Structure 1
Amino acid sequence: MGWMTDALQALTQGKDITVRPRGGSMRGVIEDNQPVTLAPVSPLEVRAGDVVFVRWKGGALLHLVKDATPERVLIGNALGRINGWARRSDVLGRVARIHPRTSGP
């Protein structure tokens, strides 16, 4: 299983999970393969500035919350891109900790 599948499984069971997400869209906040701990969160607690694990376009990814209304969150990446509005019910978890980078894979 990949990190997204593992995260989805743990979060839907109400458990925290540490994963190593891949990609560069969160560069400056979370680097490629940097460990982060995701925790379940009530979608109503999510605020602008949070990094969330959210269902988006048939998958689930880490996104930065740019803005929030009572019903939705505006998500994007750390490089300035705006992806769009997601329902709060699509928020599956929130980054609770960004671990220090270590050398190696």
Structure 2
Amino acid sequence: MVPLIRRRQQVVVAPVDPAKLEVGDIVLARVAGTVYLHLVSSVDRARKRVQISNNRGRVNGWTSHDRVYGNCVTVDGVARSAVVGKTLAADSSDSS
């Protein structure tokens, strides 16, 4: 994902509402049995799927919303502004 995310940079991923994903989001998604960070390059809301790519133009393919686990919210402590309003709220029953 260089230059978006460089080797050894720490990222924070939060659960996401897949229906709110947009082109340019960085998501944690399962592809062929392995979980990777990928760039969202297209959104197909009707079929509830996103096209995932690397940031060098290579398209990896489509993946369904149920295989998208989270959205990258920070890279090395710097917040990604594009994620505002897309992450799922924490379950209020877990707080004490």
Please classify the TM superposition score into its range, dividing by the shorter chain length: 0.7 to 0.9
Q: Which amino acid aligns with 2:31?
A: W
**Residue equivalent to 1:49:** 24
Residues 26-45 of structure 1: matches in 2 within 5 Å?
26-45=1-20
CA offsets per residue over residues 10-58 of structure 1, 9 Å max, x none? xxxxxxxxxxxxxxxx011000111111111111111110000001111
- Measured in 2, the distance between the counterparts of 1:38 and 1:62 equals 10
Instruction: Find 2:68's aligned residue among 91, 94, 98.
Output: 91
Amino acid at match of 2:73: A
Q: Which residues of 2 match residues 2-17 of structure 1 at below 5 A?
A: none
Aligned partner of 1:63 in structure 2 is 38
Higher relative contact order (CA 8 A, sep 6+): 2
TM, length-normalised to structure 2: 0.74
Normalising by structure 1, what TM-score? 0.68
Structure 1 spans left out of the alignment, 5+ residues:
1-25, 101-105
d(CA) in 1 for partners of 2:35, 2:16: 15
Q: Deviations over 1:33-92 (max 9, x none)?
A: 111111111111111100000011111100000000111100011121100000011100
Larger Rg: 2
In the alignment of these two chains, the number of paired residues is 75
Q: Secondary structure at the match of 1:44?
A: helix
For the aligned residues, what is the CA RMSD? Answer: 1.0
Identity over aligned residues, as a percent?
37
